[in-house]
Amino acid sequence: MEKKKIELKLVNPITLHVGEISFKIQPYFTFEQEIKIINVYLSTFFDNEDEIYRKYLLAEKAMILAIIDEITDIDIESEDFDLDLFIANGFWNKILEVIGEKYKKLLDDIKNIVQIINFEKKLQLSISSNLNAVFANINKILEKLSQLDEDKLEKLLIEFNSSIRELNEKYPFNDMKKTRNKKMLKDE
């Protein structure tokens, strides 16, 4: 298939009006802006030791501020800016009228990322606790072995080697690998 070259133009900012106040908004997020906004949300949510509901609300507010900062010409760092008043006076709703679908997608992305992060944290905790249990058992075994005299230790090693031989004779590892590999080749 022959490829076409297309020329794309930047979408110009839109001017919105709330009462007598007007401001400009970029009607989309660039990739870099999405990354910044998501980072603001995640760092506010996960780097905060507050109760879960406070973490969520703070992250939501931080994300709204980041969106306003990234896609509008409104100075959120001025002394006069108050996010609660900004929302209460309808400015945020005006912004959502323009970026509604893009905002929903951003929220879905954040939700998915939070789920992935939480899953990874649970997995790390699970692996860590399992490893701790294994190491604790190994320490107990080593402690008991250190209490054995030389004759008992030698007898234990002989029994262990004998058990390994019996296991290999009963369930030959190399044969198991060959059988499994042959089965896998048949299935393909």
Could you report the per-residue pLDDT of 6-51, keeping only the tens digit for each?
998 888 999 999 999 999 999 999 999 999 999 999 999 998 888 9
- What does the radius of gyration of the chain's CA atoms come to, in whole angstroms? 31
Stated pTM of the model: 0.66
Q: Residue 3 in 3-state DSSP?
A: coil
State residue 182's pLDDT score: 55
Q: What is the largest CA-CA distance in the chain?
A: 95
Per-residue pLDDT band at 177 (split at 50, 70, 90): low
CA nearest to 66, candidates 26, 32, 36: 36
The 10s digit of each residue's pLDDT in 104-148 is 999 999 999 999 998 988 888 777 777 777 777 777 777 777 777
What gap in Å lies between CA 38 and CA 66, rounded to an integer? 9
Q: What is the DSSP letter of 74?
A: -
What gap in Å lies between CA 35 and CA 41, rounded to an integer? 10
